[in-house]
Amino acid sequence: MYIPPKVKPLCPPGQPPRYEDIVYGEAALDNGQSYALKLDIYQSPSQRRPGPCIVYYFGGGWMWGEYKQVTQKAVYCRDLVNMTAEGYTVVCPDYRLVSQAVFPACIHDAKAVIRFLKAHGRDYHIDPERIGVLGNSAGGHLAAMVALSSRCPGLEGTVGGNLEYSSSVKAACLFYAPCDLTESLRTNAKGLDGSPKDLTGTEIENVGNDTAGIIPALIVGYTGPGRTMEKLAQVLDKGDKSDPDWHYIQLMEQCSPIQYVSRDNPPVCIFHGGCDPIVPISQSEMLYKALMAAGADATYISYSQGGHGPSLGHQIDGFAYQFLRDRL
């Protein structure tokens, strides 16, 4: 039986990128500054023909992490990079954290990566028709948004251009991903202890103890004096669309993967641990049930003893990698 480690180890890739710090787009930060979005491409040096590609979106509550994989404590990038020996390309992209730009900025970035790879497939030996995505936690949310909402022009954004290309992908693997942000708001607000606290200061100050309870409010920019998780949850429960804060609820809905479930979604495999203290397993269960009801191609695997990474065990993780092999 796989037992998650008490201390999550660093899991850097076992080889350097073949193509490093490739700029895939220029984007604006909330402070008005321009920001160059970059990605690393892991690939066998001997690869010359276009082959399948897996884009890995890192986790970190949309607040931490980096595409260089220096500080990451999840196994997925490391394991995926090992697949370059089989002819796969693995891409690790940067995206704007919510301390830089609130939602839906990171979703626009995640989609821009796919369009960039399709536009420049010949340059990097990537078959544009064989691109899949994998992500964990916040990265799983982004992978889900890419996979499920490709037919939603309003979420595409303009980052990086290449708008003549679709951001659709062939398959997706989602590890313990938040899938319904409004439900996360409702659940997390009920679980907070003590008197309501204003969501003021920086995102890191708000979540300095690594507690994810208030993240649903921070990611959509709901901060400032008099703004609390409890108050925003009341706005949600009342359903009063005339409330001046209702647009935050709308943004949560717009950025929730479960809103884009359809029979036409690409194959999706969902993974979650029953002991996850950060993202409740109910998030994955809701998404899987919605996909089933829509008649989509969906697979769901849970492990009762699994937590919030850094792995759900070699067998489960290996199933995810084989799922992508079979569909790309």
For residue 219, what pLDDT is reported?
93
Q: Based on the domain organization, do 93 and 240 belong to the same domain?
A: no
What rounded mean pLDDT belongs to the chain?
A: 92
291 — pLDDT class (breaks 50, 70, 90): very high
CA–CA dist 207, 276 (Å, integer): 18
CA–CA dist 23, 16 (Å, integer): 17
Closest alpha carbon to 203 in 193, 212, 195: 212
For residue 199, what pLDDT is reported?
66
Q: Based on the domain organization, do 229 and 87 belong to the same domain?
A: no
Q: Based on the domain organization, do 82 and 194 belong to the same domain?
A: no
Q: Based on the domain organization, do 87 and 231 belong to the same domain?
A: no
pLDDT at 5 over 60: yes
Q: Based on the domain organization, do 159 and 269 belong to the same domain?
A: yes
CA–CA dist 143, 244 (Å, integer): 31
pLDDT at 280 over 70: yes
Q: Based on the domain organization, do 93 and 186 belong to the same domain?
A: no
Beta bridge partners of 133: 55, 172
Q: Specify the pTM.
A: 0.95
Residue type, 145: M
Q: Of 253, 270, 299, which residue is a domain's last?
A: 253
Beta strand residue intervals within the chain, DSSP E: 19-28, 34-42, 51-57, 89-93, 126-136, 171-175, 268-273, 298-303
5 in a domain, yes or no? no
- What is the Cα 246 distance to its own chain's centre? 24
Q: Based on the domain organization, do 54 and 155 belong to the same domain?
A: yes
Query: CB within 8 A of 164, min separation 6: which ones?
Result: none
Helix (H, G, I), strand (E, B) or coil at 301: strand
Q: Which domain holds residue 193?
A: 181-253
7 in a domain, yes or no? no
pLDDT in tens, 43-65: 999 999 999 999 999 999 999 89
195 — pLDDT class (breaks 50, 70, 90): low
Strand 51-57 to strand 126-136: parallel, antiparallel, or no bridges (unpaired)?
parallel
Sheet holding 171-175, edge to edge: 19-28, 34-42, 89-93, 51-57, 126-136, 171-175, 268-273, 298-303
Q: Based on the domain organization, do 244 and 269 belong to the same domain?
A: no
Count of domains observed in the chain: 2
SS3 per residue for 122-189: CCCCEEEEEEEEEEECHHHHHHHHHHHCCCCHHHCCCCCCCCCCCCCCCEEEEECCCCCHHHHHHHHH
* H-helix segments, 18-123: 76-82, 105-119
CATH code, 26:
3.40.50.1820
Does residue 290 contact residue 258 with C-beta atoms inside 8 Å? yes
pLDDT in tens, 112-132: 999 999 999 999 999 999 999
